[in-house]
């Protein structure tokens, strides 16, 4: 085996051995500490919103470019664009629901 493969296997074994300790249930949190779940949920929602914003921008640019190249196909392009943007936006709404449920 190559040296890189040995390092990879050792890292995988270490991760598997440390996983039960890492994910073990801790004691009760002391009062006055930060609830990191809320922070992580806010960061996840921010990343999701940013990704969806980028996706919607790219979809809009592609739809405009497709319509400019072939004006006769603007109807089907518009329908596909609206469905695509609705699906992209639903991802942000699903993430918001998960954050609110947490």
In the chain, domain spans: 34-102
Digit-by-digit pLDDT tens for the chain (102 residues) are: 688 888 888 888 877 776 666 666 666 655 667 778 888 888 989 999 999 999 999 999 999 999 999 999 999 999 999 999 999 999 999 988 988 887
Q: What is the DSSP string of the chain?
A: --HHHHHHHHHHHHHHHHHHHHTS---PPPTT---HHHHHHHHHHHHHHHHHHHHHHHHHHHHHHHHHH-GGGHHHHHHHHHHHHHHHHHHHHHHHHHHHH-
Pick the CATH number of 34-102 from 3.40.50.920, 3.30.300.180, 1.10.10.10, 1.20.20.10: 1.20.20.10
pTM, to two decimals: 0.60
């Amino acid at each position: 085996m190559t040296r890189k493969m040995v390092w990879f296997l050792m890292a995988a074994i270490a991760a598997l051995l440390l996983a039960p300790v890492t994910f073990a249930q801790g004691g009760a949190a002391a009062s006055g500490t930060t609830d990191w779940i809320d922070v992580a949920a806010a960061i996840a929602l921010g990343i999701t919103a940013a990704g969806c914003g980028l996706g919607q921008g790219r979809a809009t640019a592609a739809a405009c470019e497709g319509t400019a190249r072939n004006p006769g196909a603007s109807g089907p392009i518009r329908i596909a664009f609206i469905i695509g943007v609705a699906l992209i936006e639903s991802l942000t709404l699903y993430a918001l629901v998960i954050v609110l449920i947490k």
